[in-house]
Amino acid sequence: MRKNSQLILGIAIGAIILASIVFVFLRAAGGSIDIVETGSAASFEKVLTVSADRVTVDEKNPVWSLEAPDGSAWFNWSGDYSKSSLYDIMLEIDEEPFIQAGLDVSKLPEYYKASEGILTVGVKLGNDKLAYEGESTPLVAFEQIVDKYRGTLGYHTALDHYNVSLGNGNMFEWAKDMQINSVTKEKQDKDIVFVLNPEPLIAAGVDPEKVEGWIYTTVNVEMNGKAQDVYKFLKPFDLE
C-alpha cells in the first residue's frame, strides 16, 4: 500500500514538473502574455515608421500623437504622466459624424470630453515623471506603457492585433505584422483600428447606422473567460 502511495506521489510530482516545463516553454515560444510583453513595442515601431509623417508631439505636455490617414482620429500617449492633466493615453475623434447622427454631447458620460469639435476619451495611468536614459521618442514613450502599465495592453488572437485599452470598452489596435495582414483579404484594411464602445454614444442620441466613416459591427472578444460578440464602432485603415 505504501509503495502504491509513493508511486502515485511520484507520478503527481512528475506531472507538476512536466506542467511547469511546458508552461515555461509556452511562454518562451510566445504565449499570449509573452507576445504582448516582448512583441508589442517592436510591432508598434513598424506602425510608427510607416506613419512617420503623421506622428507629432506636443512638446509642452509632452504628448505624442498618431494621426489617422484621413485626419479624423488620433491615438495619443503621454511622455510624462506627471504633466498630463487629463489622460495619459487617449483617442481624439472628429465629433461631426456623430453630431450628424444625432449625438447630444451634453448627454455623454464624464469620461468623454468635448471641445472645439473633438471628442476625447481615455485613461489616466498614473502621476509618474517618466525617466529616459536618452532622448524621449514616441517609441520610448510607448515602451514605458509596456514596462509600467502592461495591464492596459492586450492581444486579439482572432485578428493578430495588439491593442491598448483606453477604458470603458474603447481601444486602439494595430496589426502584429502588417505584411502578413495585408495579404489576408478580410483583414487588409486593418493595419490600425480606432475602436469605440457604441453604448454611451447611442445613449447620447447617436443612430449607429448613420455615423459616416465608422463601421458599426460585432467583434468577437473574450469576456470573463468566454468568447462573446459585442458591438463596436470601428475606424480601420490600411497603412501599406
Q: 172, 163 in Cβ contact below 8 A? A: yes
State the pLDDT confidence band at 189, using cuts at 50, 70 and 90.
Answer: low
Q: What is the mean pLDDT of residues 182-192?
A: 60
**Residue 8 pLDDT class (50, 70, 90 cuts):** very low
Q: pLDDT tens digit string along 208-223?
A: 999 999 999 998 876 6
Residue 225's pLDDT is: 66
- Cβ distance 160 to 186 under 8 Å? no
Q: pLDDT tens, 115-140?
A: 999 999 999 999 888 777 777 799 99
Closest CA to 151 of 29, 43, 37: 37
Mean pLDDT is lowest, of 26-40, 51-65, 86-100, for 26-40
pLDDT tier at 31, thresholds 50, 70, 90: very low
Q: Which DSSP letter does residue 239 get?
A: -
In this prediction, residues 178-204 reach a mean pLDDT of 78
Chain centroid to CA 43:
12
For residue 199, pLDDT over 80 is answered with: yes
Helix (H, G, I), strand (E, B) or coil at 236: strand
* pLDDT one-digit tens code per residue, 64-100: 999 999 999 999 999 989 887 789 999 999 999 999 9
Dist CA 99 CA 83 (whole Å): 31
User: 139-184 pLDDT, tens per residue?
Assistant: 999 999 999 999 999 988 877 899 999 999 999 999 998 876 544 4
Nearest to 87 by CA among 121, 138, 60, 137: 121
- Overall average pLDDT of the 48-77 stretch: 94
Mean pLDDT of 1-10: 45
Q: Look at residues 76, 168, 84 and name the one whose alpha carbon lies nearest to residue 126.
A: 84
Predicted pLDDT at 218: 94
pLDDT, position 23: 37
E-strand stretches of 36-88? 55-58, 63-67, 73-78
From CA 24, how far away is CA 26, in angstroms rounded?
5
What is the arithmetic mean of pLDDT over 189-201?
Answer: 93
What pLDDT, on a 0 to 100 scale, did the predictor assign at position 234?
97
CB atoms within 10 A of CB 153: 18
| Contact indicator for 167, 229 with CB cutoff of 8 Å | no
